[in-house]
Amino acid sequence: MKTRYVYIETFGCQMNVHDSEQMAALLEKEGYLLTQDSAAADLILLNTCSIRDKAEQKAFSELGRLVKLKEKNPGLLVGFGGCLAQHLKEGVYKREKAVDFVFGTHHICRLPEILTAVTTGKKRAVETCFFSEIQSLGVFAPPAPGALSAFVSIMQGCDNYCSYCVVPYLRGPEMSRPPEEILAEIRRLACCGVKEVTLLGQNVNSYGKNLAAGCNFVSLIKAIQDVEGIERIRFTTSHPKDLSDDLIDCFGSLSKLCGHIHLPVQSGSNRILGRMNRGYTVEEYGAKVARLRAVCPSISITSDIIVGFPGETAKDYQETIDMMEKIRFDSLFSFKYSERKGTAARTFKDPVPEAEKRRRLKELQALQDGHTQEKNWALEGSVQEVLVEGPSKNSDLEMTGRTRSWKIVNFKGGRELVGKKVNVLITRGFLHSLRGRMTER
Ligand code: SAH
Ligand code: SF4
Ligand code: F3S
């Protein structure tokens, strides 16, 4: 049989990256090999994101480029999946006729079946219904040879309905995977040589809501702590309103839980946080950060901020700046508010002009760069545990890896170190990485 090739392009968050890994694993069983060359593909899948308007534009401009390949290869199939597919449904065909099928976020495990229908004559399929049970999270994506890290989905969907956000409409209601399934997957990953797992969910802190009493995020990570072969545990994303004292304590007591938390704050103004439906105040957020730092002084704290939310005044914005000055994040993802169809904030008055959003974003990012640089300077002279991933981007004589706090470190060393944890004395802190040398300590 002729080998068939699939090219998958991923947009959006880590959840989408993991969904694409699952798609590749499923298609491999159907005889498709993954290719990095779109021109060589028999099947092209776009796994899209719809979080902001920009993500949507990016997906369509890439789709426009890829469907042109059909002129040379009329047998080429193009599937449009992910959050933007879920959002637009049959509307995808209005924008681009050359798409062969549209599949939503709950249909990943149905890809083989959808492909059979499409190749046997079904035209313009649209598979975007939601299922009341978890369908796709359990597909096992074997790690690439030598991979040290892997993503593990622990839940799907979101029930929070932050007023600006489309995710609950695109991923469905929150549902947690049973812990036995998650642990079995992690044991299997450990057998494949994986040493670090990142647990994925829109709000991992509320894991277990639909499961038996006593089954929560803390009990899950405590069970993962006992999995042999796994050396590091990470998770993303945490919602501040559900970050419990018990979970905070885990950063002091669980040796495998890495000292990094991504804790999106979104705004420093209580008025705006209320309108965003976030469920906490700036003071409550600050108190949780203080507890995290008390329990684990070396913890790195990263966050997300939206500027220019409807009605954000100069005073609200200044409060965000003041909060940043006080908290000092290790790094930050910041975005201009983007109006999304179907969300509550779309009806809110007093939009912030585009130019002002741009100005606020630029100023805030410059402030953050200063804070990130300061944090990295402060690490000079310290010894960090680094899990060695491979040669660095710039030199084969240098290895690269991450600290427990998720910072990139480059240092002199050979390939025999790959997969090992080594101690590195940090000699320089840059904006985006650290440099150091190996030490016995
Ligand atoms: N579930 C996660 C992340 C969701 S999306 C959480 O709650 O933190 C990632 C980030 O995108 C959000 O934290 C938010 O900062 C940003 N975002 C979401 N919707 C947005 C919108 N309409 N405009 C601009 N940024 C948005
Ligand atoms: Fe969106 Fe809020 Fe859910 Fe995060 S918690 S995915 S921001 S609705
Ligand atoms: Fe985008 Fe969907 Fe993730 S909208 S950010 S890919 S959950």
372 and 396 fall within a common domain:
no
Percent of the chain surpassing pLDDT 90: 94
Instruction: Give residue 229's Cα distance to chain centre.
Output: 24
279/364 same-domain check: yes
Q: Which of 378, 407, 430 is the last residue of a domain?
A: 378
Q: Which of 362, 378, 394 is the last residue of a domain?
A: 378
Which atom of ligand 2 is found nearest the CA of 239?
5
Exposure string for 9-38, b = 16+ CB within 10 A, e = fewer: bbbbbebbebbbbbbbebbeeeebebbeeb
Do 373 and 298 fall within a single domain? yes
254 within some domain: yes
Same domain, 123 and 147: no
| Nearest C-alpha neighbor of 2 from the set 42, 38, 35, 37 | 42
Structural domain includes residue 134: no
Q: What is the CATH classification number for the domain harbouring 247? A: 3.30.750.210
Confidence of residue 395 (pLDDT cuts 50, 70, 90): confident
Are both 101 and 120 inside the same structural domain? yes
Same domain assignment for residues 13 and 84: yes
State phi, psi for 378 to the nearest 5 degrees: -60, -20
What's the 394 CA to ligand 1 centre distance in angstroms? 33
What is the model's pTM?
A: 0.96
**Per-residue 3-state assignment (H helix, E strand, C coil) for the chain:** CCCEEEEEEECCCHHHHHHHHHHHHHHHHCCEEECCCHHHCCEEEEEECCCCHHHHHHHHHHHHHHHCHHHHCCCCEEEEEEHHHHHHCCHHHHHCCCCCEEECCCCHHHHHHHHHHHHCCCCCEEECCCCCCCCCCCCCCCCCCCCCEEEEECEECCCCCCCCCCHHHHHCCCEECCHHHHHHHHHHHHHCCCCEEEEECCCHHHCCCCCCCCCCHHHHHHHHHCCCCCCEEEEECCCHHHCCHHHHHHHHHCCCECCEEECCCECCCHHHHHHCCCCCCHHHHHHHHHHHHHHCCCCEEEEEEEECCCCCCHHHHHHHHHHHHHHCCCEEEEEECCCCCCCHHHHCCCCCCHHHHHHHHHHHHHHHHHHHHHHHHHCCCCEEEEEEEEECCCCCCEEEEECCCCCEEEEECCHHHCCCEEEEEEEEECCCCEEEEECCC
CATH number of the domain that residue 42 is part of: 3.40.50.12160
Q: Is residue 408 part of a domain?
A: yes
340 lines ligand 1 (CB under 6 A): yes
* Best of 8, 10, 14, 15 for a ligand 3 pocket test (most atoms within 8 Å of beta carbon): 15
Q: Which amino acid is at 273?
A: L
Q: How far is the CA of 52 from the centre of ligand 3 (A)?
A: 9
Q: Are residues 41 and 75 in the same domain?
A: yes
Domain boundary among 202, 227, 258: 258
Alpha-carbon distance of 296 to 307, in angstroms, equals 30
Residue whose tokens read 């979080």: 51
Protein residues with CB under 6 Å of any ligand 3 atom: 12-13, 15-16, 49-51, 83, 167, 170-171
Q: Does residue 133 fall inside a structural domain? A: no
Ligand closest to the CA atom of residue 52: 1
18 and 121 housed in the same domain: yes
What pLDDT was estimated at residue 173?
96
189 in the same domain as 150: yes
**Residue 201 shares a structural domain with residue 300:** no
Ligand 1 proximity of 79 Cβ (cutoff 6 Å): no
> Mean pLDDT throughout 284-295?
98
Within this chain, do residues 207 and 278 fall inside the same structural domain, yes or no?
Answer: no
User: What is the domain extent for residue 400?
Assistant: 383-438
Domain membership of residue 136 (yes or no) is no
pLDDT tens across 82-91, in order?
A: 999 999 999 9
Provide the domain count of the chain.
4
Say how far apart CA 49 and CA 368 lie, in whole Å. Answer: 26
CA–centroid distance, residue 266 to ligand 1 (Å): 8
**Would 132 be classed as within a structural domain?**
no
- Ligand 2 pocket test, pick from 160, 238, 306 with the greatest ligand atom count within 8 Å of Cβ, gives 160
Cα 344 to ligand 1 centroid, rounded to whole Å: 14
Among 17, 155, 165, 266, residue to substitute to test ligand 1 (most atoms within 8 Å of Cβ): 165
Q: Which atom of ligand 3 is nearest to the CA of 166?
A: 4
Q: How do residues 35-76 score in pLDDT, each as one tens digit?
A: 999 999 999 999 999 999 999 999 999 999 999 999 999 999
Assigned domain for 83 exists: yes
Say yes or no to pLDDT of 441 above 70: no
Residue 135 inside a domain? The answer is: no
Q: Is the pLDDT of residue 201 over 80?
A: yes
**Residue 41 dihedral angles phi and psi, to the nearest 5°:** -85, 145
Q: What is the CATH number of the domain that holds 397?
A: 2.40.50
Residues 146, 207: one domain? Answer: yes
**Mean pLDDT of all residues belonging to the chain:** 96
